[in-house]
Chain A
Amino acid sequence: MNVLVCVKHVPDTETRVKVAADGLHLDLGEANWVVNPYDEYAVEQGLQLKEKLGGEVTVITVGGDDATKSLRQALAMGADKAVLCSDPAFEDADPWSTARILAAAAAKLPCDLILSGKHGVGGDNQQVGSLLGQLMGIPVVTVVTGMDLEGTSLMLKREIEGGTEVVKASLPCVISCQKGLNEPRYPSLKGIMAAKKKEITAWKAADLGLDPATLAPSFQLKKMELPPPRPAGKILSGEIPDQVKELVKLLHDEAKAI
């Protein structure tokens, strides 16, 4: 089975985020950039399928040259090939444009299955996987925590409110992966050395038959701000029965929690 895994190069979730002076961008300082953590589940799943069934795992990303770091990481884990979709026209790509770029690239690659993380940390749009399936006219199953192959179909477990749903999907399809699906491997030192020799294909808008004019963002960001600082906590005093009454009253009237 040939698997295409979509990955995103994102700032480490431990990064202290500040809003830049223009109020429209984030100031990430000297943030450490890594593979989107949910995408690691997708890479691992692709590698496990390859080890079981043969075929190849190709990783793909839309991003700048620095995103090759995340592709190399996936290659070091054991992916066979990598594609970097990079073009000045892709710089402000919103989820819709990103999905269009990936769909155009996927059409040029042999793939029986497309995997991605359930969402990319940072942007948190949770749209690209779904849009990609829609654009390609194939099934999409999101937030998947379990996967079994049955003939030419996949039996998939997905998280829903208060329970688990089991879904059957025919191949090819797009699956977005959630924590719990597997335990992503660490790249081995041998894998890191091998990744050095693997080629990364670079595709621009023209290679994908995309008109840059159509890739402009479909929405405009107006303002960014950090959440307000948390107000100081309240400590009750007095006799315990009185405190309990006061607490219930506050939870009901002020916090509106009960």
Chain B
Amino acid sequence: MAATFQSPDFYRLDDLLTEEQKMTRDTVRGWVQDKVVPVIASHYQACTFPRDLVPEMAQLGLLGPTLPEAYGCAGMDQVAAGLVMQELERGDSAMRSFASVQGSLVMYPIFTYGSEAQKDHWLPRLARGEAIGCFGLTEPDAGSDPGSMKTRAERRGDAWVLNGTKMWITNGTMADVAVVWARTPEGFGGFLVEKGTPGFSAPEMKGKLSLRASVTSELIFEDCPVPEANRLPAARGLKAPLSCLNQARYGIAWGVVGAAAACYDEALRYARERIMFEGPIARFQLVQDKLVWMLNEITKAQLLVWKLGKMKDEGTLRHAQVSLAKMNCVWMARECARLARDIEGANGILDEYCAMRHMQNLESVYTYEGTHDVHKLVVGADITGYEAFRTVTAPVDR
């Protein structure tokens, strides 16, 4: 809605933030309000990504905000970076997904596992938004279990040849560079595949009822040659791509708090203004129950992600802690979006309200970057020592 967003801060958690963090948050909030909110519903309906906003996102420093200034990035702390994601996803999960992929899944692996030449070539371009990146790990038959991937890279002389198909790849069709993970004779490796490489195509996937303002693609490799210089030298085994996903999941945990806050703010305004039985519906106990549920969960999530960020800045964050946050925050955001839509009645299904768009987006977020259930089992494994998702049980023969 046109009214300026009022973020819930029931426990004055703003007191936990530094001046720079608050200014970062307020800047991105203002930009999202001015540039994303007015156009996002029509992009969602048209199934298009607002690509014209990428240069502005780059100018603001939203692409890889924690990476060093030497590569044209801002060198922000993790809490500030989380707040960026929160504000982007308040606009739409597509905006946060774009920034997540560019920053956490493309710039981060190049920064962490790339050669000096790869870093110097790609990071400034990616930070300036002149190049767009995507991350190819998931396959049609390898989602939660990336170790079962079929895409393979074979050595041919000094180069590599890639064969296989990736699926559900955000930014794929518009990407200038794809960070692609494939089986190698040594295990698994990461490759930078440039747009236009022979044997590489990235058709857009159609028919989505969620994340409609985001580009989702297949990546197809048919005897696609990749020079050795484009292999990420320090990425060995699946730990490398999983470490990238951990970065992205951190951003998701923050991001969805923004989506939930947008839904709460909208539902609260609606409840105060909607007159039924000669008074605002906000006076009904059942409406208050929903609003309080939302505020309660949002407040807890705000505290959770702030502490998550502090641990990340300290370098003590464990992946199971990220899993718990991703699991909890997306779940609560999805519930908030549903409750908001419920409060808004029939109006809530219109695209002039944000609740249903967020709700549909969050259905994807709930199962991408590790499904809700797999994150639950990651935490389960952490506390019990048993990795439930790896247990293979032979079917009973009747």
Give the interface of A toward B (CB within 8 A).
14, 69, 72-73, 76, 186-190, 192-193, 195-196
Contacts and interface: CB of A to CB of B under 8 A. Distances in A.
Nearest to B60: A188
Interface string B64-77: 01000100011110
Q: What are the 4 closest A-B residue pairs judged by CB atoms, nearest first?
A: A189-B61, A189-B74, A190-B74, A188-B61
How would you classify the secondary structure of chain B's contact residues: helix, strand, loop or mixed?
helix
Given A188-B61, A195-B23, 9 more contacts: A186-B27, A187-B23, A188-B27, A189-B62, A189-B65, A189-B76, A189-B80, A189-B84, A193-B69
B30 interface: yes
Interface string B23-53: 1100100110000000000000000000000
A193 B59 contact: no
B4 interface: yes
Nearest to B66: A189
Nearest to B127: A190
A187 B75 CA distance: 15
Interface residues of B, number: 20
Contact of B76 (A14, A187, A193, A195): A193
B78 to A, nearest CB: 13
B27 A187 contact: yes
Contacts of B24: 189, 192
Given A186-B30, A188-B74, A190-B69, A196 B60 contact: no
B373 interface: no
A188 B76 CA distance: 11
B168 to A, nearest CB: 29
B85 to A, nearest CB: 13
Contacts of B4: 14
Nearest to A190: B74
A195 B19 CA distance: 11
A100 B392 CA distance: 81
A245 B178 CA distance: 71
Contacts of A187: 23, 27
A217 B23 CA distance: 34
Nearest to A30: B12
B382 interface: no
Contacts of B62: 189
B19 A188 contact: no
B23 A192 contact: yes
- Chain A's interface: helix, strand, loop or mixed, by majority? helix
Contacts of A192: 20, 23-24, 27, 74
Interface in B55-99: 59-62, 65, 69, 73-76, 80, 84
Q: Which of A69, A73, A76, A189 has the most chain B CB within a 10 Å cutoff?
A: A189
Nearest to B81: A189
A76 B75 CA distance: 15
Given A193-B74, A193-B75, A193-B76, A188 B59 contact: yes
Contacts of B20: 192-193, 195-196
Best-buried of A14, A69, A187, A190 by chain B (most CB within 10 Å)? A190
5 contacts: A14-B4, A188-B60, A189-B27, A189-B61, A189-B80
A47 B74 CA distance: 20
A193 B76 CA distance: 7
Contacts of B76: 189, 193
Contacts of A190: 61, 69, 73-74
A190 to B, nearest CB: 5
A64 to B, nearest CB: 15
A186 B60 CA distance: 7
Given A188-B60, A189-B80, A192-B24, A69 B19 contact: yes
Contacts of A189: 24, 27, 60-62, 65, 74, 76, 80, 84
Nearest to A68: B19
Contacts of B60: 186, 188-189
Contacts of A195: 20, 23
B87 to A, nearest CB: 12
Contacts of B73: 190
B112 to A, nearest CB: 20
Contacts of A188: 27, 59-61, 74
